[in-house]
Amino acid sequence: MFTGKWGIKMEFKDVIYGRRSVRKFSDRQIDDAVLEEIMDAALWAPSGVNLQPWYYVVVKSPEKVAKYKEVMAEVSNRNRAHLEERFSSHPEVVKSTLGFIETLGNAPVVVLAFRDKPDYSWALQDEGIVQSIAASMENLILSAYDHGIYSCWMTAPAQANMTADIRDEFAPGHGELLCMTVLGYADEANVPKAPKRKADKYVII
């Protein structure tokens, strides 16, 4: 059992089923001590061959967040054609998605997940590195929700082929950006309902 958001005791299943991807955040800032607990949870994820191949950059200062939003404006621009094709019958979805990519929903914190080293092929195939970092990011967003903080896991920079650009700007010397998440507090009105789970997605044999 965990002491979760607003000091309420949450069972682990409440964390799993309660987490939502949020795209609009309040102005409330996240304390450094809370961020450190969230990031520590990320570091305790399992990884192939115990490589712990992740490297995180937590973007929090207003100046750095603004700088990152400049990059995301270009990410939004590069994703436009893809989204317009995919959602050709739903222009409102295209507009809202591009707007979120560019503004990050006013999130006060952006967490960037990089491959710590450019190449791990000597120890583990690339798929294993991706799985390991994904496991770490899952720890991160679940820990965030346990602290009453919402997130939205994003891969738009990869879709825009800008992972190396972001690495060079925010984590020079490390591997390319794999994914990112925004973190922030949210009004309940901005927390979406859970989408229906797809059926027939597992079998017990």
pLDDT in tens, 147-182: 999 999 999 999 999 999 999 999 999 999 999 999
Determine the Cα–Cα distance for residues 137 and 39; give it in Å rounded to an integer. Answer: 9
Match 């800008």 to its residue by tokens.
162
* Residue 23 backbone phi and psi in degrees, to 5: -125, 15
Dihedral sign of CA atoms 104, 159, 145, 128 in order: negative
Structure tokens at 24: 């609009």
Determine the Cα–Cα distance for residues 106 and 161; give it in Å rounded to an integer. Answer: 24
Predicted confidence at residue 1, as pLDDT, reads 43
Question: How confident is the model over 125-143, as pLDDT tens digits?
Answer: 999 999 999 999 999 999 9
What rounded mean pLDDT belongs to the chain? Answer: 93
Q: Which residues contact 65 (CB under 8 A, 6 or more apart)?
A: 59, 104, 108, 109, 110
